[in-house]
Amino acid sequence: DVVVVGSVNADLVVGVERRPGPGETVLGADLATHPGGKGANQAVAAARLGARAALVGRVGDDGHGRLLRAALGAAGVDLAHLATTPGAPTGVALITVGPDGDNSIIVSPGANARVGPADVAAARAAIAAASVVSCQLEVPLPAVAAAARIGAEEGTRVVLNLSPPAPVPDDLLARCDPLVVNEHEAAFLLGRDGPGDPAAMAEALRRRGPRSVVVTLGADGALVAAGPEPVRVPSPRVAAVDTTGAGDAFTAALCLRLARGDALPDAARYAARAGAAAVRAPGAQGSFSAPGDLPGP
């Protein structure tokens, strides 16, 4: 169904009372190590929803790499195109969580920074056989551009999640169907200081060239711009515990339903349920639901 081209990180999480200033040391709580990375998260979320999902990416030849490979394999993700990079550490996210649950994050891309067009080209047959190829921006832009080009050449639908936000060339945007952004990423791409009216942002983004646009709106669901008028899609009401991974779950579910033939608004309705499900539990991969556990529409 879906080939994800993207990042694999170990999330190293420590709770702190306060963050250290320069030259200072503070003691934190026990270290927790969780599988993460936007690419891996999307592949796991899709697999948990029943998709055949493959991941194109890189880990290092180290303990984190082995841990992440095992987590992906246990979730049922096809790892034929997950390479091991000698001499580079696996990507890590160093996360401190303050008393209010606020995160401060440093990402060290490691092996993710070595994902290149050749890795994507080696997966051409898998991309051609899939219905959707899904990318984010935690791997280098040339790899993402190669995925979009190969997707277009092979008739595979290209979905791009502009996360973390970074400038992208127009020919890449033109291949996205849809471009998926949250409000902050939308504002970034439009060169605005902060989010404005979602429908106006979606229309303005569409004029930048993508075939369709989905703007996610947290608890307010999402806005789909594909036809003449933007369509608002609601999110089920849930008790929010931790929004980490919500965007990844949303995009994964969207890709799965598009692969199964849904129209974009219907796929987005399902994706909003998967996104809402992911905020009910802490963390990313541990919060992704099977279809039977999704909150009602």
| Residues within the interface to ligand ADP (CB under 6 A) | 182, 216-219, 221-222, 235, 238, 240, 243, 246-247, 250, 272, 275-276, 279
Using DSSP's 3-state secondary structure scheme, residue 69 falls into helix
Q: How far is the CB of 287 from ligand ADP (least distance, A)?
A: 11
Distance CA 131, CA 121 (A): 17
* Among candidate residues 290, 2, 4, 295, the one with its CA nearest the CA of residue 147: 4
Q: How far is the CB of 26 from ligand ADP (least distance, A)?
A: 28
Distance CA 214, CA 223 (A): 6
* Among candidate residues 272, 228, 281, the one with its CA nearest the CA of residue 249: 272
User: Which of 171, 242, 248, 262 is flagged as catalytic?
Assistant: 248
Strand order in the sheet with 231-233: 82-85, 53-60, 2-5, 132-135, 157-161, 176-182, 213-216, 222-225, 231-233
Q: How far is the CB of 273 from ligand ADP (least distance, A)?
A: 7
Distance CA 164, CA 185 (A): 8
Shorter beta-carbon distance to ligand ADP: residue 63 or 297: 297
Shorter beta-carbon distance to ligand ADP: residue 28 or 218: 218
Shorter beta-carbon distance to ligand ADP: residue 7 or 182: 182
Shorter beta-carbon distance to ligand ADP: residue 11 or 78: 11
What's the CA angle centered on 224, arms 273 and 215, to 5 degrees? 80
**CA distances, 16 to each of 60, 171, 278, 286 (Å):** 28, 44, 24, 22
248 included as an active-site residue: yes
Q: How far is the CB of 181 from ligand ADP (least distance, A)?
A: 8
Looking at the annotation, which residues are catalytic? Answer: 248
